[in-house]
Amino acid sequence: QSALTQEASVSGTVGQKVTLSCTGNSNNIGTYVVGWYQQISHGAPKIVMFGNSLPSGIPDRFSGSKSGTTASLTISGLQPEDEAEYFCSTWDSSLRAVVFGGGTKLTVL
Amino acid sequence: QLQLQESGPGLVKPSETLSLTCTVSGGSISSNSYYWGWIRQPPGKGLEWIGSTDYSGSSYYYPSLKSRATISIDTSKNQFSLRLNSVTATDTAVYYCARSPSRQELKNWGQGTLVTVSS
């Protein structure tokens, strides 16, 4: 049972806008910045968003936001290479640990 | 360009100690601006944070692993290590090392190494 809750799967067509969500509580998402990680074909995860800051080299079709205890990753103009599993993560002050969501498998149709 | 590379035995027997090393190149592990940590991913499952440490020795571990895990830094070799005691089959996973500018931003990752716990 993951500390953060994500959709198991999301799909979209090329060019579409999709939003992935990540829900936690006041001990984690409600207080701390959320990171999003892309894992393609079971390779090493790569950070694609930290809060609403785009890491170097990540296309600007990725954006991040947060409202209360739910964080979101939006991909505007979905591309075939965006097909991957996406994990959200943040600090949890109750556990004094980094916690992850269970991951969302994004399929590009 | 910063690179992290995990190394260690790919097979560990149950009840023994898993030991992995992460070699850092393109950056100094002695910087007090970063946390150095480990994350694992069991086959077919999600990511699980194990813990991290900074140069001053402040360490954090996931509660369920705290009694068995130790992360240490070797500045002379620009490496950091993970030791996980009393392993069982449930510790079978791909283990990743990572560098973090803050406790929760896992900015740079190694490529991962598979460790199987089996007799």
Order of strands, sheet of B69-74, starting from the edge strand that comes earlier in the sequence: B3-7, B18-25, B79-84, B69-74
A90 touches chain B (CB under 8 A): yes
Task: Measure the CA–CA gap between B70 and B88, rounded to whole angstroms.
Answer: 17
- Band of residue A55 on the pLDDT scale cut at 50, 70, 90: very high
Query: Could you report the per-residue pLDDT of B82-109, keeping only the tens digit for each?
Result: 999 999 999 999 999 999 999 899 999 9
- Predicted pLDDT at A1: 83
Determine, for residues B46 and A46 on separate chains, whether the beta-carbon distance falls below 8 Å: no
Name the residue among B47, B99, B49, B44 with its Cα closest to residue B69.
B49
- Quote the tokens at residue A57: 């080299």
pLDDT at B55 over 90: no
Quickly count: other Cβ atoms within 10 Å of residue B76's Cβ: 8
- Predicted pLDDT at A16: 97
Out of B46, B103, B109, closest to residue A100 by CB: B46
Determine, for residues B109 and A44 on separate chains, whether the beta-carbon distance falls below 8 Å: yes
- Band of residue B66 on the pLDDT scale cut at 50, 70, 90: very high
Query: DSSP labels for A45-102?
Result: -EEEEETTBPPTT--TTEEEEEETTEEEEEEES--GGG-EEEEEEEEETTTTEEEEB-
Determine, for residues B112 and A44 on separate chains, whether the beta-carbon distance falls below 8 Å: yes
Determine, for residues B106 and A98 on separate chains, whether the beta-carbon distance falls below 8 Å: yes
The answer to whether B40 and B48 have CB atoms below 8 angstroms apart is: yes
User: Which range has the worst mean pLDDT, B15-19, B25-29, B108-112?
Assistant: B25-29
Determine, for residues A97 and B46 on separate chains, whether the beta-carbon distance falls below 8 Å: no
- Band of residue A76 on the pLDDT scale cut at 50, 70, 90: very high
Report the pLDDT averaged over residues B65-80. Answer: 95
Q: Which of A98, A99, A104, A105 to mutate to test the interface with B (most CBs of B within 10 A)?
A: A98
Query: Could you report the per-residue pLDDT of A89-98, keeping only the tens digit for each?
Result: 999 999 999 9
Out of A2, A32, A102, closest to residue B104 by CB: A32
Residue with tokens 């100690």: B17
Query: Could you report the per-residue pLDDT of A6-40, keeping only the tens digit for each?
Result: 999 999 999 999 999 999 999 999 999 999 999 99
Determine, for residues A97 and B60 on separate chains, whether the beta-carbon distance falls below 8 Å: yes
- Band of residue B32 on the pLDDT scale cut at 50, 70, 90: confident
pLDDT at B57 over 90: no
Smallest CA–CA separation between A98 and chain B, in Å?
A: 6
- Predicted pLDDT at B56: 82
- Average pLDDT, rounded, for chain A: 97
A103 touches chain B (CB under 8 A): yes
- Band of residue B31 on the pLDDT scale cut at 50, 70, 90: confident
Residue of B nearest to A96 (CA): B60
The answer to whether A86 and A64 have CB atoms below 8 angstroms apart is: no
Quickly count: other Cβ atoms within 10 Å of residue B33's Cβ: 11
